[in-house]
Copies of this chain bind each other. A is one copy, B any other.
Amino acid sequence: MLCRRSKWTPTTDQIRILKELFYNKGVRSPTVEQVQRIYLQLKWYSKIEFKNVYFWFVNQRAREKQKKTSTSDVHVPMQRSGLVGGSINLNFGSTSSADVGGSIMEQRGEDHQEVKTLPLFPIHSEDIFGNMKTTSDGGGGHGGGSYISLELSLSCEGKAGNKNFWSR
């Protein structure tokens, strides 16, 4: 059994220290000396190398950005003046983990899976935030009206609040 654990697995203490530095202390891009200092402390807890600390900050920074991207997801204003053409029943148990034992599949009311040629939407990378008028609703019948307009939605989605996305 050749389980080579090549990856550094930080201990909880180390993570705590790193997060303390990153968030509370605002250390986001430590200099080499700073990294070394941190490294010297963290190495006490477990085998750790200089680059581990460095990478951690790099990743943490990158992840913050990613989180921001996902957080700023434009909520599709599907709640318009009425119902959007079809009956989209996306009432999923979000964070409810009571899935065990129960069978949830195809929670949609309509079970018309006969979609032969699913209406793929074009991914023209030409226009990013332009208006991608996906006319996919027409062919499929996936509840119709799946046009998506990237508009900032000031209105929250009603009761559902924003959940933590990439948080631990």
Q: Which residues of A are in contact with B by a Cβ distance under 8 Å?
A: 3-9, 11-13, 16-17, 20-21, 25, 27, 30-34, 36-41, 43-47, 49-51, 54, 66, 69-70, 73-74, 76, 78, 87-99, 104-108, 111, 113-115, 118, 120-121, 123-125, 128-129, 132, 134-136, 138-139, 142-143, 146, 148, 150, 152-154, 157, 159-161, 163, 165-166, 168
Contacts and interface: CB of A to CB of B under 8 A. Distances in A.
Q: How many copies of this chain?
A: 2
Contacts of A46: 88-90, 92, 107-108, 128
A47 B97 contact: no
Contact of A118 (B27, B40, B87, B95): B40
24 contacts: A8-B89, A9-B104, A9-B134, A11-B107, A11-B138, A12-B139, A13-B142, A13-B146, A13-B148, A20-B150, A21-B123, A21-B150, A25-B120, A30-B123, A31-B160, A37-B123, A37-B132, A41-B134, A41-B152, A45-B90, A46-B89, A49-B106, A50-B107, A51-B66
A21 B125 CA distance: 14
A41 B32 CA distance: 37
